[in-house]
Amino acid sequence: MPRPSFRKRRQQLGISGLLVFLIATLGAAGATGATAAAGTAGAGARPAAMQSQERPQQQPLPTATAWVPDGAWTAIHAPGKNPLWTGGPGHNAPVCGEAGTTVGQKGTTPALCGVHGVPDGQGDWLLWAVGENGMLARYSGGSWQKVDDLAPARTSPRTYHLHDVQVLSPTEVWAVGWVEGDSSCISEDGVCGAVLRYDGQRWQAQERSRMGISGCMARLNAIDMATDAQGTFGWVVGDRQCGNGGALYLKYDGSAWKWVRVPQASRDLHDVRIVNRGDVWAMGEFGIESHFFEPIASPAWSVLGKSGADDLFAVDLVDATYGWDGGVNGRLNRYIGACHDDDPGTQCWFDNQASPVQDQQGNKLTQEVYAIDLLSRSQGWLVGERDGRRSFIAHFFQQKRWKTLAVADDPGASLYGLFAPTLDWAVAVGDEGSIVAYRAAPSPTATASVPPTATASATVGATRTAASATPTATLTPPPSATAEGGATLSPSPTATTPATVPPPPTATGAPSPETTAAPGRLWLPLLFRTRPRSR
C-alpha cells in the first residue's frame, strides 16, 4: 500500500499528531544519514559512477588573507648587468606584437617576448626564451646562454620575429611569430605568420601549405599546448587572416597544425590559454574574449567580449571557473565561471576595473598588462609596461587587488613574457634582452647540500603539471639545418660565456588552500603548460 503524502497525513493527524509525525520523520532521516555515513566510511570513496552523476562543485573564491611573497626579483641579464646581447639593429615594428604599440623599442638591442620551460629531470629546469630579430636564449644547467641559430645573418634573406614559445621536452619546442623576407609570402606588408619547431638539433619552419594556408598568413601572437590521456594538443592564435576575415586560429592534433576558420572573430587575438581539451580561452583586440567550450551541443569558438572594449593582451586560468585577463591602461578582469549556476560553461567575466594594480604605497597604476601567470586562486604574477625607470611586476595580493614588487638591479624594462611554474621560482623577459628572476626566501630548515628540485607545483585541474618522463636528449651544439625555402638555420658555436646563476630553489612550494580540486569535479590527467606569454 503506498504511503500517504505529507499533506494527507497532516489532515489525518491534526496538530498534536503532526508534531509526533515530524519528530519521528526527522529522527528517521537522521538515522538514515548516520547509516549512510557509516556505510561510506566503511567502504571508502564512492564509486566513480556515482560521482559522475553529481553536478560539478564550484571552488571557493580567494579568502581575505593576503599573499605576500617572501622572496625577491633580481635582474639576471640586462644591458647593465651581464648582457647576453650588446648592440644590434633594434626593431622599428611594434615590439612583441601589439604589446609594444604604446612604448616602442627601447635601445638598440631587440626585445625578448616569450619564455617557457619544463623540468629537466635532474632537479632543475630547461627553459627557452624567444624574441625579435631571431633572438633565442636557453636556460640549462643553472645558467642562460645565447643561441644564434635564428640570427638574421644565418637565416638571410629571412628574419624571424618570435613572440611566444612552448617547451614540451628537450627535443620538442615550438615557437610562433612572423617572418619577413620570405618570397613565398604574399601580403601587403611582406610578412607572414611563422611556426617553428626545435627537435633537439635544429629549428625548422613549418610549411604553411600543410596548415591549409597558401600565400598570405597572418602574424601569430601566442601558443599554448598540453598533454592528456589522449596525447598532445594545442592552439595558436594571431591577427586577422589576410583577405579571408576572422582572426587566425591554428589547432594541433598531435601530429600537425591545421587552420580553423572562425570568420566571425573580426579582431586580432593576442593570447590563448588551455584549461583542458574542451575548454580554451583566447583574448585580444577591443576586449574580445573568445571561448571554445566542447560540452555544448555544437562546440565552436564564441567571439563576444564580456568585459568592455579595452584591448586585452594576457589571460590565465587555474581551472574551468577561475582566471584573470588584462591589457591596456592596467585593465584587469576576473573570471568566475558558474557564477549563476553550477555549470562550468557559464561565462562570467567580472570587475571591469580600469586599474586594480597598486604600488606599495597604495597608488593605482595604469601600465599595460602583457602577461599573467596564476599559481592558484589566490597566488600569481603579472608583468607589463615599464613604469618610468622601473620594471612592472605585480603579485596577486588579495581578492581583487594586485600589488607591485621592486626588482634588484632593475633594468627599467617593459616585460612581455612570464613563466611562473612554482611558488618558489619565476622568470620574466623583455626589453633589450632583459631576463629577471624571482626566488623565494630559503626555508629555515633547508639543507645546503640537498640539491633543489624542479617538481611542478600541483594546481587545480592539473593544468600546470609538467611532463613526467625524464628527458634523455642531450643539448650538444647541433649541426646545421635547412629551413623552409632553403634558409640555413645553422647553430653557431658558443658565442657568449654565460654568467652562472644559482639554480632555482626547491620548486615544490607550499600548497595553498585553493590548490585542491573541488570535490565532484573530474579533471583530465597529465595536463601541463605555460605560461606565458608574449603580448
Query: Can you give the CATH number for the domain in which 332 is found?
Result: 2.130.10.10
Range of the domain at 332: 72-515
> Is pLDDT of 424 > 80?
yes
- Does the residue 306 lie in any domain? yes
Three-state DSSP state, 285: helix
- Does the residue 30 lie in any domain? no
pTM (2 decimals)?
A: 0.75
Q: Nearest to residue 203, comparing CAs of 225, 177, 227, 224?
A: 177
- Does the residue 67 lie in any domain? no
> Is pLDDT of 301 > 60?
yes
Q: What is the pLDDT of residue 343?
A: 66
- Does the residue 501 lie in any domain? yes
CA 374-267-296 angle, 5° bins: 65
pLDDT digits (tens, 9 = 90+) for 178-203: 999 998 888 877 899 999 999 999 99
Q: Mean pLDDT over residues 322-347, rounded? A: 81
- Does the residue 341 lie in any domain? yes
Distance (Å, whole) CA 47 – CA 58: 21
Q: What is the pLDDT of residue 410?
A: 97
Alpha helical stretches, state H, 366-490: none
Distance (Å, whole) CA 106 – CA 103: 8
C-beta of residue 270 within 8 angstroms of C-beta of residue 284: yes
pLDDT digits (tens, 9 = 90+) for 157-166: 999 999 999 9
Q: What is the mean pLDDT of the chain?
A: 76
CA distances to 249, 272, 348, 402 from 308, in Å: 22, 18, 13, 20
CA 11-16-19 angle, 5° bins: 90
Three-state DSSP state, 189: coil
Q: What is the pLDDT of residue 432?
A: 94
pLDDT digits (tens, 9 = 90+) for 280-300: 999 999 999 999 988 777 778
- Does the residue 14 lie in any domain? no
Task: Give me the half-sphere count of Cα atoms (radius 13 Å) on the Cβ side of residue 305.
Answer: 20
Distance (Å, whole) CA 96 – CA 221: 8
Q: Mean pLDDT over residues 140-150, rounded? A: 96
- Does the residue 34 lie in any domain? no
Higher-scoring residue by pLDDT: 325, 464: 325
Pull the grid cell for residue 128.
Answer: 627557452
> Is pLDDT of 235 > 60?
yes
C-beta of residue 219 within 8 angstroms of C-beta of residue 247: no
Distance (Å, whole) CA 264 – CA 260: 12
Indicate the number of domains in the chain: 1
Residue with grid cell 617547451, as numbered in its chain? 167
- Does the residue 340 lie in any domain? yes
> Is pLDDT of 376 > 60?
yes
